[in-house]
Amino acid sequence: MSPGLTPYDEAVTRMQARAAAIHAGTAEELVWLVEHPPLYTAGTSAKLEDLTAPDRFPTHKTSRGGQWTYHGPGQRIAYVMLDLTRKHGDLPQRDVHSYVNALERWVIATLADFGVKGEIRQGRVGIWVVMPDGSEAKIGAIGVRVTRWVTWHGLALNLAPDLTHFGGIVPCGIREHGVTSLHDLGVDVTMDGLDAALKRHWDGIFG
């Protein structure tokens, strides 16, 4: 875990180096918890027209899958660097789909600790919740890259970010649904409390 706000370019450089070292057998696997200053990242499928406020925050092209995502204070980023040639819980080895599903299950189990029902939707990567008015909103985004069977990038879980900051993009290319957070849902939890829940549920998913 890194305190404060970690610059995005620094995070990518460190992740890439760590993933290479894991592949080489010179470093251990790692789950790295960070927060970033406000910024937008463009995944490999991002469309320029989905960046609706290009001058609002810094933008970064990135090598993860997916489309546009916002990162900022109050959002827990979990960068996960695992060697998928190794065994992790009940996950099959060298199976990227199962790995992404495990990340989703990890977030869903964590949210359940706070009375929030996270769900997945066919064709919509990430974690969704049904709002009181019956609409759906995304609370967790997932975007990964796998290099020589080592994962990097990971997920973003909204604790208490400024939700208006998502207005500068079409999050993940989905226009018909909104974005929410634990605090938006009335859950009073600190970042430390959220981190503790993430750590509690890690072994149950990944072994």
> With a threshold of 0.75, does the pTM exceed it?
yes
CATH architecture under which domain 8-206 falls: 2-Layer Sandwich (3.30)
Contact in structure between 73 and 165 (CB atoms under 8 Å): no
- Active-site choice (172, 179, 198, 205): 172
Q: Is 172 a catalytic residue?
A: yes
Burial class (CB in 10 A: 0-12, 13-18, 19+), 207: exposed
Q: Percent of the chain beyond pLDDT 90? A: 90
Extents of the domains making up the chain:
8-206
Which residue ranges in the chain fall short of pLDDT 70? 173-174
Kindly report, residue by residue over 146-162, the tens digit of the pLDDT.
Answer: 999 999 999 999 999 99
